[in-house]
Amino acid sequence: MKIDVDNQHGFVELVDWMTVNPSEKITDAARVSYDRDGAHDAEKDARLIARLAKDGHWSPFRHSPVTLMVSCPEFVARQWYKHVVGSTYAFVDTGWNEVSQRYSEVLHAYYPDVVHVQSSVSKQGSAEAMDELHAKQLRESIETSLLHYHYLIAHGMSREEARMALPLAVYTRFYWTASQQALKHFVSLRTHSTAQSHIRFYADAVNTICDHHYGQAWKAFE
């Protein structure tokens, strides 16, 4: 399952998952405490999953991780990476491997259609849209930086030093393996109205993929 995010080079793709039904694995992990794992009834499983989520019993939700491949601008990836190191569970629950600009040449950058003024009430946020002239100026700045980068590469500069000229708009690509709990934590924070719109689009894609894959086990978090 692959979802296009920005009609440019951004996407989220589900590339791997465990073979056991997530709902059955969650209930087995919970019932093993009573030595009652292995027997399943759809209605009882659904009630148990809902109760586990409601009461905050998260460990059973960590047994069915998925691997996503993501292509996104650097400024989105740097926010995303906080979910690898920013929580006590996340450090052991997630794997992250990303394209290196030391080993490969950057080819694409994200060009925004719309830009916004700085919010007067949120230090990290934006407010209403600016006119097209300002969006054009930003796109031109991104393009100029990318041209300078390729010029330096073409004239023999090392990739690890030429990358200093790159803007945060360039695309990167990474594999992210995360448990259901870690995925839900990401979606909950990054679909919030206060999150930057660019990462919200990716979080919406992750939410769609997880809703399709985990089914009732994902809806229980809601």
Active-site residue numbers? 190
β 2-4/95-98 pair status? unpaired
- With tokens 């990474």, the residue in question is 174
User: Coil, strand or helix: which one is 12?
Assistant: strand
| CB contact at 8 A, 175 and 96 | yes
Per-residue DSSP letter, 170: B
DSSP string over 51-112: HHHHHT--GGGGSS-EEEEEEEEHHHHHHHHHHHHSSTTHHHH-EEEE--TTTS----B---
- With tokens 């849209």, the residue in question is 129
Q: What is the dihedral of CA 4, 135, 115, 81, to 10 degrees?
A: 50
Cα end-to-end distance, the chain, whole Å: 22
| CB contact at 8 A, 78 and 171 | no
| CB contact at 8 A, 58 and 181 | yes
